[in-house]
Amino acid sequence: MSTIIDKAREIVAANGMSDKITLLQGKMEEVVLPFPKVDIIISEWMGYFLLYESMLDTVLYARDKYLQKDGLIFPDKATIFTAGIEDGEYKEEKIGFWDNVWGFDYTPLKATAMTEPLVDTVDMKAVVTDPTGVLTLDLYTVTTKDLAFVVDFTLDCRRSDFIHAIIAWFDIEFTACHKPIKFSTGPHTKYTHWKQTVFYLKDVLTVEQGEQIKARLTNKPNSKNKRDLDITIEYKLLTDDPHRAAQGVGEYKMC
């Protein structure tokens, strides 16, 4: 769609492939392909939290209109993972900042700041729970309706610590390759520009090793802009200690 296609044409010509590669500029939903069907669809459609500002709708449109019955999609599988993290210092820097802004009380902005997920790199040392896969998308079968979902999940605490936020990341798979290939955008692996998405909790959870957090994640495209996301996370700490019992709901907007 962008003007980088002009450079792509130069590169194709420089490599003597102008008679083999045809470049079309425009929106997938508007261009007319020179063939009724295609054998392969390749697309880098992933956004933050996998689905924010993603182009998956367009990939599904191309799949349904153009892909041969036995055609291939690269990549073809994506899984969203979550975990709980200790992040008190950074939370205080980002959220507590509004308590005193050069001597002025800006606390009315605190609630707004809490609704905005942070996209940043999380240190693996901050991860308190085991990772949990909450949703897997198969690009051969997924529909646009599946992109609005409600999933329940459990986080198992691997050590005694505080939990200030729940983070999310995704793994991508190319299962149709002769040697299956995958990569992760999680805190346990090499840096990617997707980083991780951090959802700060209103409460600070004090957890003990072996305890669990029961949670429910609700995701749906924003009604005004489908590339934005409305996300809700409900959580409850399962503990025998009444002094540490906690539950709550966080509502977030990625826009």
- Annotated catalytic residues are 44, 53
Mode of pairing for the β-strands spanning 67-74 and 38-42: parallel
CB 73 within 8 A of CB 67: yes
CA 11 to chain centroid: 33
User: CB-hemisphere CA count at 13 Å for 166?
Assistant: 34
Amino acid identity, residue 165? A
Distances (CA, A) of 192 to 117, 135, 153, 202, 235: 18, 20, 25, 28, 28
Question: What's the CA gap between 185 and 24, in Å, rounded?
Answer: 31
Q: Is 88 helix (H, G, I), strand (E, B) or coil?
A: helix
